[in-house]
Amino acid sequence: MALLLSAVLLFGAFALLLGQWLRQRRSQRLVEQRLQGRAPDEPALRGWLQRMGDSRLGQRSLNLDGETRQLLDRVGWRRSRQRSLFAACQVGLPLCLMGAAVLVQEVFFRESRSPWLFPLMGLGLGYLLPKRLLALLAARRQRQVAQEVSTFIPLLRIMFESGLAVEQSLRLLSLEGQRLLPVLSEELRLLLARVDSGLALAPELEKSAQLLGVEAFSDTCIILRQLLTQGGGAMKSLLALKQLLDDRRLTTLQERISKMSGKMSAVMMLFLFPALLIVLAGPGFTALARAFGA
């Protein structure tokens, strides 16, 4: 027993020393790469996933479905590396779940009459799951953009009243508005990067509105394009849009409150009514039971 314990402790000490040596070697390699001006090496798993996504099968899985590309744009994954990682997940996850289903079937359901059912279910679930998760992320980001537009419009009005132009206001908000507008500031930085490369601002505003697919931001971009073409007369439009957004938010909150009251009524009837019935009608039932028993 003592010999086994000493062997385990020795193996643990060897593993700790090996891990420390590997971390030191990695840190030294990263320092050398930075001093030589090279980009640091990617992790093996990420590089393997990117190669899988860059393959013909991965790119075909993205090109077959236009909705997937639209959702990737709405989430903000517009770089080729991000799209390749998603394509790798969309190709690799069905295979992994199908293999897991085959393993579970061989271990627990070996006598199944339909041996193809579990692998087919794993394959279908693995293909649909990444897209559903991507749709949830896109809807969440759209809600964030819709909430940030209510803050974005008053800031624009302050910038315009101080004498700044449209492009100057957008640049200032993209640099200084990261805490107030985390999603919109990122979109504005991408938009202004395309403008700096030589593209016009008005078409890029329209393109950004189409990529995000948020109605409030699309209306704001229309007003900004009007301000770029006409040179004025947009302050009243921004104020009217802000009032419209506030009315929509108030209506949404009222709908949520009404639905919540209905849900609370159902919960109260489900949990409170049986307890109230026991407290009020319990003594009567016990008295009746005693009377019939006598």
> What digits encode the pLDDT tens for the residues 251-281?
878 888 888 877 787 777 777 777 777 877 7
Q: From the DSSP assignment, how many helices (H) and strands (E) are in the chain?
A: 12, 0
Type of residue found at 104: V
Tokens 């394009």 belong to residue: 225
Type of residue found at 6: S
List the chain residues with pLDDT less than 50. 3, 38-42
**Residue 149: per-residue pLDDT:** 87
**Helical ranges in 36-114 per DSSP H:** 44-54, 56-64, 66-75, 80-108
The model's pTM: 0.65
Separation CA 278–CA 12 (nearest Å):
61
**Residue 11: per-residue pLDDT:** 58
Tokens 């403008």 belong to residue: 195
Q: Could you give the angle at the alpha carbon of 14 between the alpha carbons of 10 and 15, nearest 5°? A: 120
Separation CA 166–CA 172 (nearest Å):
10
**Residue 72: per-residue pLDDT:** 82
**Residue 2: per-residue pLDDT:** 55
Separation CA 129–CA 163 (nearest Å):
49
Q: CB burial class (10 A; 0-12, 13-18, 19+) of residue 68?
A: buried
**Residue 10: per-residue pLDDT:** 61
CA distances (Å), 177 to each of 40, 151, 183, 273, 294, in order?
Answer: 31, 10, 10, 51, 81
**Residue 63: per-residue pLDDT:** 65
Separation CA 63–CA 78 (nearest Å):
14
**Residue 252: per-residue pLDDT:** 79
